[in-house]
Amino acid sequence: KVHTVFAAPAPKDIYFEFQERFGVKFIEGYGLTETGMATYMDPTRPPVAGSMGKANPGYEVTVVEPGTDRPLPPDTPGEIVVDMKIPNIVMRAYYGMPEKTAEDFRNLKLHTGDLGRMDKDGYFYFMDRVKDYIRRRGENVSSMEVERQIMDHPGIKEASVIGVKAGEGASSEDEIMVVCIPEDTDAPTPEELTHWMAEKMPYFMVPRYIRYVTELPKTPTERVQKVKLRDEGITSDTFDRDAAGITIKR
């Protein structure tokens, strides 16, 4: 039997353990409604945990610098761009949406809006959505990576990480904020969670702001609507690490 699942990449730390426990084999890939399966893991070769595999022979998949479309060297994060080598396997337009078509199909290639990297052997890795990637004080921070770390805490049920403006005006710098659903029991205080995160991740990835909620806004397909969280921003019930006098050591 073959079961197809369309979701986030399988976490690297359980990739092999899950397959061994349940007697299944993962064949990971990457694609969109617009493209079909653009990359896949060749089942005849040893799997590379955490990877989406290599480009499907019918596709040209590249990683470019967002905003300039400049091709990037191996292991450099950038936007994943998909083109076709075989006619009619990638759509060319959104029906009745000329502006959206012009934006996403620049240079006649589909700009996916997904952030990823390609290693020296041609394997692709999904990192985040371009719009969800956070640039903080010269450091690039993947919201998904911070979420994965926080979800390891036994007192946190769900977590969503966003970038928020810490000051006034559009030029103010982004700070990292995590919106969490705590467990009913053994939930950490924001101070406790901050100290725990500081031990688990690099200093520049530790969120300054923490907000506890009972639910996260989601789409019908259970994706967190981060745009709504960004619109809400820093609320009156948001914990501020700096205001609490907590300093994260480098």
Q: Are residues 138 and 161 in the same domain?
A: yes
Total tally of structural domains belonging to the chain: 2
Has residue 11 got a pLDDT over 90? no
| 217-240 residue pLDDT tens | 999 888 899 999 999 999 999 999
The pLDDT, as a whole number, for residue 211 is 97
Question: Pick from 69, 92, 127: which residue ends a domain?
Answer: 127
Give residue-wise pLDDT tens across range 164-195: 987 665 555 789 999 999 998 889 999 999 99
We report the CATH number of the domain holding residue 177 as: 3.30.300.30
Q: Give the residue with greater pLDDT, 223 vs 138.
A: 223
Average pLDDT of 53-67?
A: 94
Do 45 and 145 lie in one domain? The reply is no
Average pLDDT over residues 107-118: 94
- Specify the residue for token string 């079961």: 3
Query: How large a percentage of the chain has pLDDT more than 90?
Result: 69
In a domain, 99, yes or no: yes
CATH code for the domain of 78: 2.30.38.10
For residue 24, the model assigns a pLDDT of 87
Banded model confidence at residue 72, pLDDT cuts 50, 70, 90: very high
Angle CA 35–29–10, to nearest 5: 135
Asked if residue 97 belongs to a domain, the reply is yes
Is residue 21 in some structural domain?
yes
The DSSP letter of residue 77 is -
* Beta-bridge mates of residue 211: 179
Instruction: Output the CA–CA distances (angstroms, integers) from residue 110 to 8, 130, 243, 247, in the order listed.
Output: 20, 14, 44, 43
Q: Is residue 120 domain-shared with residue 137, that is, in the same domain?
A: no
The pLDDT of residue 186 is 85
Whole-Å CA distances, 213 to 9, 44, 159, 179, 237: 26, 45, 10, 7, 9
Q: Are residues 138 and 107 in the same domain?
A: no
**How high is the mean pLDDT of the chain?**
91
Proportion of the chain above pLDDT 70, given as a percent: 98
Q: Are residues 138 and 123 in the same domain?
A: no
| Cβ-Cβ contacts under 8 Å for 209 (sequence gap 6 or more) | 164, 175, 176, 177, 178, 234, 238, 239, 240, 241
Give the domain-ending residue among 127, 152, 183: 127
Q: Which whole number is the average pLDDT over 150-154?
A: 94
Question: Do 93 and 137 have their domain in common?
Answer: no
Query: How far out from the chain centre does Cα 168 lie?
Result: 27
Q: What average pLDDT score do residues 55-81 get?
A: 94
Helix (H, G, I), strand (E, B) or coil at 238: coil
Looking at 127, 144, 164, the residue that finishes a domain is 127
62 inside domain? yes
In a domain, 39, yes or no: yes
Q: Residue 232: inside a domain, yes or no?
A: yes
233 and 140 within one domain? yes
Q: Is residue 245 part of a domain?
A: no
Q: What CA–CA distances, in Å, run from 232 to 27, 71, 164, 167, 168?
A: 38, 35, 10, 15, 15
Round the CA-based radius of gyration of the chain to a whole number and report it: 20
Max distance between CA atoms of the chain, in angstroms, equals 59
Domain extent, residue 100, equals: 12-127
Overall average pLDDT of the 84-103 stretch? 94
pLDDT digits (tens, 9 = 90+) for 204-217: 999 999 999 999 99
